[in-house]
């Protein structure tokens, strides 16, 4: 909220001071020229006290309660101070709690009673005088309460707007973070699988330099094919980012067979234990669960090639509607160790755990009793 200009503050603070002072001077002049006027000394004292009350209004917005109480006390000895007293009552009602404002309202009414108890009342019916005083005070007090309630409402709306803006910024930040995490998982799962195939065959070509031309050509063809597929997978991931959600097809449970065949062509022995109709599409596996199961098999096969080269792999997919989908990929201890300290190790498992949590599943992994490794996941499959 921007601060009000200096000239506006001067006008708001100073205008009531000038107006009440003019009204006080006019009232004093009228009392002076009226027949049977009051003594000059008493009139001057009343005017002086009234002018003090008028000047005190300058600080009514910064210190509403002290100014209001002070002017109420002055009203007990000065009739001219009654006009700035109403302005001070308005300031108190507009800026102080309701109980405090009500106390000042009652004190202001009582000050008139104290004043007329030692000064002669005007020649007017008592009921008319009391009614006018009470009506005037009630109108000013109610107006001040209305202004205060409006000010509180505006402050509440500003606070709520600030909170909503902050919450929107947090949601946007969280959404961006989730999008980056999803992109990282997708890139890791898709490109990690293809690049591991390229690494295996490129390593074989470099190691077996004296291999027959036919085997070299076959390995080179596998490298070329997987490099081409890696580019296609990269285009697919970028396309998913650019296209609306659901426009481009993503791999699912029915693509596990093709994934295993690709792995077998690299020389890794993979055995598939498939439940009735799980990967064939005969049973309606939920799309999110099927895609998550595919990513698990993909990541587990990549890890097996990297950390347990040459070890056979067993892939098991079982379950049914209402029982859940259970995916397990296991391999025994390898004859030779793989890249145990590869940079970024463990990122894939963390991504799989996040994928499982997003669909309400659970991931568990760890070494087996024979020195191998097992990765398993249980995913919901509604009836």
| Average pLDDT of span 53-63 | 83
Beta strands (DSSP E) in the chain are 270-274, 313-320, 324-331, 362-367, 373-379
User: What is the predicted pLDDT for the residue at 376?
Assistant: 92
Model confidence at 137, pLDDT cuts 50, 70, 90, reads confident
Residue 36 has pLDDT above 90, yes or no: no
Largest CA distance in the chain: 136
Averaged pLDDT of the chain: 78
- Predicted confidence (pLDDT) per residue in 233-250, tens digit: 677 666 656 655 444 457
Report the percent of the chain where pLDDT is more than 90.
6
| Average pLDDT of span 45-62 | 81
The three-class DSSP label of residue 132 is helix
Q: Which residue in 271, 263, 270, 256 sits closest to 201, CA to CA?
A: 263
What pairing do the DSSP bridges indicate for beta strands 270-274 and 313-320? parallel
| Average pLDDT of span 107-129 | 73
Q: Best-predicted range by mean pLDDT among 138-142, 204-208, 275-279, 304-308?
A: 138-142
Q: Please report, for residues 24, 33, 34, 122, 380, the alpha-carbon distance to residue 30 in angstroms, rounded to integers and kept in the order given.
A: 10, 5, 6, 13, 92
Q: Where is pLDDT greater, at 79 or 100?
A: 100
The three-class DSSP label of residue 30 is helix
Structure-derived torsion over alpha carbons of residues 87, 89, 95, 99, reported in degrees to the nearest 10: -170
Fold of 180-379: Heat Shock Protein 90 (3.30.565)
Rounded distance, CA 352 to CA 293, Å? 9
**Annotated domain spans of the chain:** 6-123, 180-379
Rounded distance, CA 296 to CA 276, Å? 20
Rounded distance, CA 81 to CA 75, Å? 5
The three-class DSSP label of residue 97 is coil
Residue 112 has pLDDT above 90, yes or no: no
Q: Where is pLDDT greater, at 120 or 208?
A: 208
Cβ-contact 147, 94 below 8 angstroms: yes
Q: Find the range with the poorest average confidence among 127-141, 278-292, 337-351.
A: 337-351
Q: Where is pLDDT greater, at 145 or 112?
A: 145
Q: Find the range with the poorest average confidence among 255-269, 296-310, 340-354.
A: 340-354
Q: Where is pLDDT greater, at 122 or 297?
A: 297
């Amino acid at each position: 909220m921007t601060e009000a200009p200096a000239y506006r503050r001067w006008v708001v603070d100073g205008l009531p001071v000038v107006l009440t002072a003019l009204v006080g001077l006019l009232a004093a002049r009228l009392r002076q020229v009226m027949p049977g006027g009051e003594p000059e000394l008493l009139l001057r004292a009343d005017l002086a006290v009234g002018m003090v009350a008028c000047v005190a209004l300058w600080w009514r917005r910064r210190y509403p309660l002290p100014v209001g109480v002070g002017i109420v006390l002055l009203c007990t000895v000065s009739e001219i101070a009654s006009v700035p007293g109403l302005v001070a009552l308005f300031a108190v009602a507009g800026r102080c709690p309701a109980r405090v404002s009500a106390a000042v309202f009652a004190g202001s009414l009582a000050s008139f009673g104290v004043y007329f108890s030692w000064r002669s009342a005007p020649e007017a019916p008592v009921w008319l005088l009391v009614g006018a005083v009470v009506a005037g005070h009630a109108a000013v007090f109610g107006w001040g309460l209305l202004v205060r309630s409006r000010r509180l409402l505006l402050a509440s709306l500003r606070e709520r707007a600030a909170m909503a803006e902050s919450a929107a910024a947090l949601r946007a930040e969280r959404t961006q973070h989730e999008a980056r995490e999803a992109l990282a998982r997708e890139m890791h799962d898709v490109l990690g699988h293809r690049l591991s195939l390229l690494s295996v065959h490129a390593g074989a070509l470099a190691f077996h330099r004296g291999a027959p031309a036919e085997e070299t050509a076959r390995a080179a063809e596998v490298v070329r094919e997987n490099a081409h597929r890696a580019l296609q997978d990269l285009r697919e991931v970028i396309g998913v980012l650019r296209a609306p959600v659901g426009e481009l097809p993503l791999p699912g449970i029915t693509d596990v067979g093709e994934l295993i065949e690709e792995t077998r062509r690299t020389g890794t022995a993979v055995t598939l234990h498939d439940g009735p109709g799980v990967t064939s599409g005969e049973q309606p596996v939920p799309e999110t669960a099927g895609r998550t199961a595919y990513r698990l098999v993909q990541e587990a096969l990549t890890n097996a090639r990297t950390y347990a080269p040459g070890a056979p792999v067993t892939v098991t997919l079982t379950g049914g509607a209402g029982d859940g989908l259970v995916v397990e990929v296991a391999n025994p201890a390898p004859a030779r160790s793989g890249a145990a300290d590869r940079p970024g190790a463990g990122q894939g498992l963390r991504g799989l755990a996040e994928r499982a949590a997003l669909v309400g599943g659970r991931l568990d992994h760890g070494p087996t009793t024979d020195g191998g490794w097992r990765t398993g996941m249980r995913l919901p499959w509604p009836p």
